[in-house]
């Protein structure tokens, strides 16, 4: 009546299979359980990676699969690294990365710091602040196009309320100097809550008695912040930067919905540019080389960063 799950499993196994399994070692059984995952991983992850590297040395075009494939050596790589347009998209990506991370860290940390105080309804406020993060990026991109409308847009009216400029006099999405900032604002709006949550976890991990000891040791609020709060939240903050950095390096959906890479190619981030090369111009070999370069860049930057993060954690 009170069987253990193991006994029940043993009874449920057909005798035919049970007889065959009995002779296997633990290691073999472990491999049997792990192999489906490994096969899946090889099929959808590792194989495409190797295949992409292979394609990056060819002139293959996916819309002409029957054409003979020629190996062109490093020609694709050479063309990419000397292409001025690609450097422009890299610059656009760097601008987007730098400002989104900076703003999200500053605002996110401040919000976390404010919400970490004990006040009535801070759970409710946390939920409200976190809402943008729960929306689909496509939806966010879409409705911000309405907020940015020069005639009816809420955003333009708010700016006009504070600065007095005519709301119809500027287009966040349409003007070349403003468009890069339009995507920075939306991404910050959407993902600051994420940084806030991570900072909040960091702040909550600092035990209260450390602040009590500091107060007895006559450290001012300012000194407590710089010598206790910031160093102890720093590993969390760096983790948030890592997550946001990786995410925004491959930013696609939000920006495509919002600006489509325009006007011209001012907001054409690398992943949008890459998609264009691969699936609009169908230069598959060239795009593969492009993808490999991006992968190496992001992988290199991330490993350097993780090393620094571990050093901070050890401190």
Rank residues 53 and 232 by Cβ distance to another protein and give the closer one: 232
* Footprint on residues 106-165 left by another protein (CB under 8 A): none
Shortest CB 106 distance to another protein, Å:
22
Per-residue x/- track, 205-224, another protein (CB under 8 A):
----xx-xxxxxxxxx--x-
- Compute φ and ψ for 284, nearest 5 degrees: -65, -45
Q: Tell me how crowded residue 98 is: count the other CB atoms within 10 A of its CB.
A: 13
Report in angstroms how near the CB of residue 124 gets to another protein at its nearest: 24
Least distance to another protein, CB of residue 33, Å? 38
- 228 sits near another protein (criterion: CB under 8 A): yes
Residue linked to tokens 């059984």: 29
The only residue of 178, 232, 298, 301 in contact with another protein, by rule CB under 8 A: 232
Residue 200 neighbours by CB under 8 Å, 6+ apart = 112, 115, 116, 126
231 near another protein (CB under 8 A): yes
Residues in the chain, overall count: 315
Q: How far is CA 177 from the centre of its chain?
A: 25
Site size toward another protein (CB under 8 A) is: 17
Q: Smallest distance, Å, CB 229 to another protein?
A: 11
CA nearest neighbour of 284 among 63, 48, 45 = 63
301 binds another protein (CB under 8 A): no
Q: Is residue 106 a contact partner of residue 241, using CB atoms and an 8 Å limit?
A: no
Q: How far apart are the C-alpha atoms of 43 and 244, rounded to whole Å?
A: 28
Closer Cβ to another protein, 234 or 301, answer by number: 234
Min dist. Cβ of residue 214 to another protein (A): 8
Closer residue to another protein in complex, CB, 84/208: 208
At 71 the three-state DSSP class reads strand
Least distance (Å) between residue 216 CB and another protein = 5
| CA distances for 252 relative to 51, 121, 144, 173, 311, angstroms | 23, 36, 15, 16, 32
Q: Is 174 helix (H, G, I), strand (E, B) or coil?
A: coil
Q: Which stretch binds another protein (CB under 8 A): 107-115, 128-136, 228-236, 263-271?
A: 228-236
| Binding residues for another protein (CB under 8 A) | 209-210, 212-220, 223, 227-228, 231-232, 315
């Amino acid at each position: 009546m009170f069987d253990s799950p193991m006994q029940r499993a043993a009874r449920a196994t057909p005798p035919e299979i049970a007889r065959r399994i009995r002779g296997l070692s633990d290691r073999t059984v472990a491999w049997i359980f792990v192999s489906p995952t490994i096969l899946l991983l090889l099929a959808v992850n590792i194989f495409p990676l190797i295949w992409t590297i292979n394609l990056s040395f060819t002139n293959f075009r996916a819309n002409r699969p029957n054409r003979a494939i020629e190996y062109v050596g490093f020609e694709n790589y050479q063309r990419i690294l000397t292409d001025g347009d690609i450097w422009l998209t890299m610059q656009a990506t760097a601008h987007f990365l730098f400002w989104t991370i900076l703003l999200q860290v500053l605002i996110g940390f401040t919000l976390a710091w404010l919400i970490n105080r004990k006040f009535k309804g801070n759970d409710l406020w946390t939920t409200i602040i976190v809402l943008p993060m729960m929306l689909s990026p496509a939806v966010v991109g879409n409705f911000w196009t309405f907020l940015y409308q020069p005639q009816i847009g809420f955003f333009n009216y708010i700016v006009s309320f504070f600065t007095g400029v005519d709301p119809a006099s500027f287009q966040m999405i349409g003007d070349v100097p403003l468009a890069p900032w339009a995507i920075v604002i939306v991404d910050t709006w959407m993902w600051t809550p994420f940084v806030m949550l991570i900072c909040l976890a960091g702040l909550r991990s600092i035990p209260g008695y450390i602040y009590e000891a500091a107060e007895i040791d006559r450290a001012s609020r300012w000194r407590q912040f710089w010598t206790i709060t910031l160093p102890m939240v720093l590993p969390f903050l760096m983790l948030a930067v890592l997550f946001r950095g990786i995410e925004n390096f491959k930013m696609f959906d939000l920006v495509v919905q919002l600006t489509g890479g325009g006007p011209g190619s001012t907001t054409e981030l690398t992943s949008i540019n890459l998609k264009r090369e691969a699936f609009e111009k169908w230069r598959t070999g060239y795009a593969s080389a492009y993808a490999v370069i991006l992968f190496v860049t992001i992988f290199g930057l991330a490993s350097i960063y993780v090393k620094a993060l571990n050093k901070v954690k050890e401190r």
